[in-house]
Amino acid sequence: MPKKLMAANWKMFKTWEEARQTARELVVGVRNDLPPDREVLILPPFTALRGVSEMLVQQESFFLGGQNFYPADQGAFTGEISPDQLLDAGCTHALVGHSERRHVLGEQDDFLAFKVSFGLERGLRIIFCVGETLQERKAAQVEQVLTRQLVQGLAKVPGDTGPGELAAAYEPVWAIGTGQTAGTEDIQEAHDFVRAKLSEMFIHGREMRILYGGSVKPGNTPSIIALDNVDGVLVGGSSLNAETFSRIVLA
Ligand code: 13P
């Protein structure tokens, strides 16, 4: 069984000092009680990566990640950040294909496929996000959408990629930031489906982690995290406050 990964996606929130303060409180709040089968990942905004990294020094089971990167080593890509720059700032992980990158920034499956393979080659552990819109769910297209996103987005990833290198996150778009969590049956169905696809595509697909994201709160975490094929959570709004996120981490 892989360790459960409890991930905090701070999106475009927090100054450098606010991020350090939250990270400090979080470490103090959970480090003595963190069960051995749990890990914590913090994904701060880029400006706070170094500051948060300093808070996580020698904290076993705490990891730092980037919310995004551009698939090039360096160059004239104004406003972008490279995998090497993330690694240099102390990151071990990075998200690819978050709903907001797909729907607000317009990133497409073929570009995401390039990003995943590039990030893996440079040594980042990738969390690849998938999930359907409400319209797609209402049209009974959940499996079709997840298949397209997984097959196209992971098309360039070698079949023998290690279980620690690649994880998936199922985040139904309609549950992100809405307070409307998917029901446990919907989560179970989607995670089982993602597991089956990963197992088809990768030798280690059965051991790769699959996180759930979308309005995760302290109250709903225990029932979500107990489901089969749910290997962690990816939390937005409820990760911004250290005390609230500590309750999720320890739930
Ligand atoms: P919320 O927890 O705010 O719904 O955000 C989920 C998310 O997008 C995490 O990546």
- In terms of phi and psi (left: phi > 0; alpha: psi -120 to 50; beta: otherwise), the region of 160 is alpha
Q: Which atom of ligand 1 is nearest to the CA of 100?
A: 8
Reported as a single tens digit per residue, the pLDDT across 47-105 is 999 999 999 998 999 999 999 999 999 999 999 999 999 999 999 999 999 999 999 99
Q: Which atom of ligand 1 is nearest to the CA of 176?
A: 4
Cβ pair 124, 93 in contact under 8 A: yes
pTM: 0.98
- Tell me the three state secondary structure of residue 60: coil
Which residues have CB under 6 Å of ligand 1? Answer: 9, 98, 171, 176-177, 213-216, 234-238
CA of 46 to the centre of ligand 1 (A): 18
Band (pLDDT 50/70/90 cuts) for residue 171 is very high
Rounded to whole angstroms, the Cα distance separating 205 from 56 reads 30
Reported as a single tens digit per residue, the pLDDT across 188-232 is 999 999 999 999 999 999 999 999 999 999 999 999 999 999 999
* Residue 245 pLDDT > 90: yes
CA of 177 to the centre of ligand 1 (A): 6
**What was the pLDDT predicted at 204?**
98
Q: Whose CA is nearest to atom 7 of ligand 1?
A: 236
In sequence order, the 6+-apart residues with CB closer than 8 A to the CB of 104 are: none
Rounded to whole angstroms, the Cα distance separating 98 from 129 reads 5
**What was the pLDDT predicted at 112?**
98
Cβ pair 89, 50 in contact under 8 A: yes
4-249 is classed CATH 3.20.20.70:
yes
Main-chain dihedrals φ then ψ at residue 96, nearest 5 degrees: -135, 135
**What was the pLDDT predicted at 129?**
98
